Amino acid sequence: MKNIYSGIREQRRDTDTFTDWGGGSIDASERFPKKCLGRADRVFSQGLQCRQTNSVMALLSMEDSVFVLHSPLGCTGCCCMANDWFRVGQLHRGNYAMKNARVIVTNLDNRDIILGGEEKLRKAIRLAYTRYQPKMIFVFTSCSSGIIGDDIEAVVAEVSEEIPSIVVPVHCEGFKSKICASGYDSAFLAFSQYILKDAPKGETENDLLNLFAPPTVSYIDQTEIERILGDIGIRVNYIPFYSSLEKIRKIPNARASSAICKVFADEFMKELYEKYGIPYSHTIMPIGTRNTDKWLLGIAALFDKTAQAQEYIKEEYTKVRPLVEELKSKLSGKRVFICGGTGRSFAAAALIDDFDMKLVGMETPVYDNDTQSDLEYLNRLYGNFTLDIANMMPYEQVNLLSKLKPDVFIGVPVWAAKLGIPTTHILDIKRPTMGYRNLVYLGNKILYQIENPGFNKKIAAHARLPYKKSWYDEDAFKYIK
Amino acid sequence: MAKKIKQIAIYGKGGIGKSTTASNISAALSTLGYKVMQFGCDPKSDSTNTLRRGDYIPTVLDTMREKQTVDVEEVIFKGFNGIYCVEAGGPAPGVGCAGRGIISAVELFRQQHVFETLDLDIVIYDVLGDVVCGGFAMPIREGIAEHVFTVSSADFMAIYAANNLFKGICKYSNSGGALLGGIIANSVNKPYSKEIIDDFAEHTKTRVIDYVPRSVTVTQSELQGKTTIEAAPDSEQAKIYRRIAEKIAAHENSYVPQPLDGNELRTWASKWAEKLLELQND
């Protein structure tokens, strides 16, 4: 089954993938196994995330690397956020000599589109080397280079002969996928095809775990996760955030693999299993005690440490439980709406169970087989709730929120805040969210917002969302046909 | 009020004789006293060769390759009888985007108001006829050519290209794009060739404006790097080209064709295949 994966999630063969749907969660989970969600085509979209953004985000913190974007200038916009995260990440890791990521754009213009952009790319890669002499040069493709069919592989092969850097093409043309997580897949495909290539398995390091983590995991979460695993004797090869060529090359030496986010590196882990026999654990994001347990036990089993992990969980509970119980007494019964990436929002939905909160609605970008198992689990926990399969779509979100009137909104808060709803988010690269200890921080964050809604109330009083009043009376899923 | 410049696009499958026809029409129009420009929109950039004694001229895109801004004066060349010759050109084969090239070349001329400045009467765009992408449909969009003529033989692939062109015309017809002036039937020597083209025209609610037979005079003229109008002005063939030129100069009302869909086209073609087999067996 090698080489069938193109890095485009819509084309995965072992799962069905939907990006547009709206309705009841129980209805959804009953329809999905029949391979028919019914109305599953959004005829009006307010925005989507580009696949290139996720490829860039995944790799921009890579050590001793230069990033060449083979695109018009505008595509580099996606580097702003990734670079900000990179800078914050450096500070958190104690690196006060903070640097920007080194990005070169080929700046494809009208002339290059007509005549081809290969020469500019050749120049850009050479420039990347002469200016910085990095170990790795990542070349990100774009819609433009994809449409005109520039032969990136040929240019990379040619220039690689001239310079000692490893040149790694990342095929991340935005138009090829509506699912932004495909951008992560492109990054991992690049690792496997250009860095690992035919690297041998090497000697297995028996306590080493490849841990694939999206760039949205904060440093304090990383250390919490490393602490938990370290306490039961597992060392972590943390990839790709703040990673390096050496760490990537170490991947085949690990005993097992896992990911912090369920949608992250899943295909790559399968490939590592097929190629090197490295087993992997694919469970859930470690947010909330229940999920952290599940996640930890999944990994522990691959290291024959199940009993030790169970014991460890008990110990952690004795420390964390009293604090969680205290939060629970204050948060119990609060109604929650969650909006986030697929892995994160499902994990967070289970987390609110720690605090005995009630899930009323969820917005998440993709519905696939993994979503189905998570959804069945949530349906058992909370019964029916409103499910919106959408990548943001603020018009649907505000419509739903104004009807569901949750006590708190967890997710990207831009629009919910303008409705005066207390908000907080879990996609927080700067603050704690995951593992046992950080759960307490997260709980307090939610509680704080509920108890102090003044800021959002003020915003709601002064800011206006752009929709007509009549829209709020319409069916939120009116444009899903 | 400034006079209205007549802009005409001539489309046709590669190799069908479209540039030969376009150049002869341009030449004939110029001898009739019109100020004409022929604008080649094919990356092969040989549309205007026979207007310039076989010379290749620097193309718009060659010039654009060398420098960021192109002054149109650098890419307009005079040919036979004062005809202005332009070649859009294209990228090297296998790279870049030829369609985008055509768009940019045509836009450049519009921006610099070239046609008005040169006080032209007629502009003829000679375009690759498969309309493979948006770029090759550029000349039939709003505000550029007004009338489209397609050169087609009775060859099935040429008809297929003509049908595709009709689809393109339909698409843009609602937004003020060019309409069809008619079909110029080329290389019509056998009686059945004429029948095939006439039948196709009938099925697509279009009209054949004239029939051009295959002629050795054309080949002889082209080998001298000339149009038939220039090399053999008194020949039968030249008369036909002049007749077409007169019709085009007088042409006013174009219309929306009704292209066949994939299935209809296949059925239509197989019906003709059977007929031709019968002819062969007779």
> Tokens in use for A40?
């599953």
Of A85-99, A249-263, A342-356, A453-467, minimum mean pLDDT range: A342-356
Annotated catalytic residue, options B126, B130, B210, B226: B130
* Rounded average pLDDT over B39-63: 92
Q: Is the pLDDT assigned to residue A90 strictly greater than 70?
A: yes
**Distances in whole angstroms, Cα of residue B46 to Cα of each of B5, B122, B219:** 24, 20, 15
> Tokens in use for B122?
């007629």
Give the CATH H-level superfamily of domain A205-284.
Nitrogenase molybdenum iron protein domain (3.40.50.1980)
Q: Is the pLDDT assigned to residue A125 strictly greater than 60?
A: yes
> Within an 8 Å CB–CB cutoff, is residue B134 touching chain A?
no
B62: which chain A residues are within 8 Å (Cβ-Cβ)? none
Determine whether the interchain pair B96/A113 forms a contact, defined as Cβ–Cβ distance below 8 Å: yes
Residue B119 is among the residues annotated as catalytic for this protein? no
Paired with B151 in beta bridges are: B12, B184
ipTM, two decimals = 0.80
The size of the A-B interface in CB pairs under 8 A is 40
B 75-104 residues inside an 8 A Cβ radius of A: 90-92, 95-98, 100-101, 104
* A11 contacts A176 by C-beta, under 8 angstroms: no
In 3D, which of B43, B55, B49 has the Cα closest to residue B19?
B49
φ/ψ of residue B187, rounded to 5: 55, 40
Peptide bond into A240 cis (omega under 30): yes
Distance from CA of B104 to the nearest CA of A (A): 8
Query: What is the pTM assigned to this prediction?
Result: 0.88
The percentage of residues in chain B with a pLDDT greater than 70, rounded to a whole number, is 99
Residue A204's pLDDT is: 95
* Rounded average pLDDT over B58-70: 88
Give the residue extent of every domain in chain A. Answer: 1-41+285-481, 51-196, 205-284
Q: Which band of pLDDT confidence, cut at 50, 70 and 90, is reported for residue A352?
A: confident
In 3D, which of B143, B67, B60, B70 has the Cα closest to residue B101?
B60
Residue A4's pLDDT is: 56
Vertex A456 angle, CA A451 and A458, to 5°: 110
pLDDT (tens digit, 9 = 90+) per residue, B177-202? 899 999 999 988 888 999 999 999 99
> A147-158: buried (b, 16+ CB within 10 Å) or exposed (e) per residue?
ebebebeebbee
Closest chain A CA to residue B135: A114
**CATH fold for domain A1-41+285-481:** Rossmann fold (3.40.50)
Most confident of the ranges A2-11, B140-149, B259-268: B259-268
Residue B18 is among the residues annotated as catalytic for this protein? yes
Substitution target in A114, A147, A148 with the highest count of B β-carbons within 10 Å is A114
Q: Which band of pLDDT confidence, cut at 50, 70 and 90, is reported for residue A344?
A: confident
3-class DSSP assignment, residue B127: strand
What is the rounded CA–CA span in Å between residue A413 and residue B157?
58
* Rounded average pLDDT over B241-265: 96
What is the rounded CA–CA span in Å between residue A252 and residue A241?
18
Distance of CA B36 to the CA centre of its chain: 14
Residue type at A101? A
Distance from CA of B98 to the nearest CA of A (A): 6
What residue ranges define each of the domains in chain B, with the CATH number in brackets?
6-281 (3.40.50.300)
The percentage of residues in chain A with a pLDDT greater than 90, rounded to a whole number, is 76
User: Please, which residues have CB within 8 angstroms of residue B133's CB and are 6 or more apart in sequence?
Assistant: B99
> Given 3-state DSSP classes, what are the helix, strand and coil percentages for chain B, each rounded to the nearest 5?
45, 15, 35
**What letter would DSSP give residue A42?**
B
Give the CATH H-level superfamily of domain A51-196.
Nitrogenase molybdenum iron protein domain (3.40.50.1980)
Residue B271 is among the residues annotated as catalytic for this protein? no
* Rounded average pLDDT over B17-31: 96
Distance from CA of A114 to the nearest CA of B (A): 4
Of A5-19, A34-48, A431-445, minimum mean pLDDT range: A5-19
Residue B6 is among the residues annotated as catalytic for this protein? no
Distance from CA of B134 to the nearest CA of A (A): 13
Is the dihedral angle over the CA atoms B161, B162, B166, B168 positive or is it negative?
Answer: positive
B 11-40 residues inside an 8 A Cβ radius of A: none
In whole numbers, what is the pLDDT of chain A averaged over residues? Answer: 92
Residue A40's pLDDT is: 87
B100 → closest Cβ in A113, A118, A150 = A113
What is the rounded CA–CA span in Å between residue A476 and residue A467?
12
Strands A103-105 and A65-69: parallel
Q: Is the pLDDT assigned to residue A431 strictly greater than 90?
A: no
B91 → closest Cβ in A110, A115, A147 = A115
In whole numbers, what is the pLDDT of chain B averaged over residues? Answer: 92
Interface of A with B (CB under 8 A): 110-118, 147-150
Residue A5's pLDDT is: 67
Q: Which band of pLDDT confidence, cut at 50, 70 and 90, is reported for residue B2?
A: low
* Rounded average pLDDT over B206-218: 95
Residue B137's pLDDT is: 87
Paired with A136 in beta bridges are: A65, A166
pLDDT (tens digit, 9 = 90+) per residue, B91-142? 988 889 998 999 899 888 988 889 999 999 999 999 987 777 888 888 888 7
Residue A1's pLDDT is: 37
Q: Is the pLDDT assigned to residue A2 strictly greater than 70?
A: no
Of A28-42, A102-116, A161-175, A445-459, minimum mean pLDDT range: A28-42
Q: Is the pLDDT assigned to residue A122 strictly greater than 70?
A: yes
Determine whether the interchain pair B92/A115 forms a contact, defined as Cβ–Cβ distance below 8 Å: yes
Strands B122-128 and B6-12: parallel
Q: Is the pLDDT assigned to residue A263 strictly greater than 90?
A: no
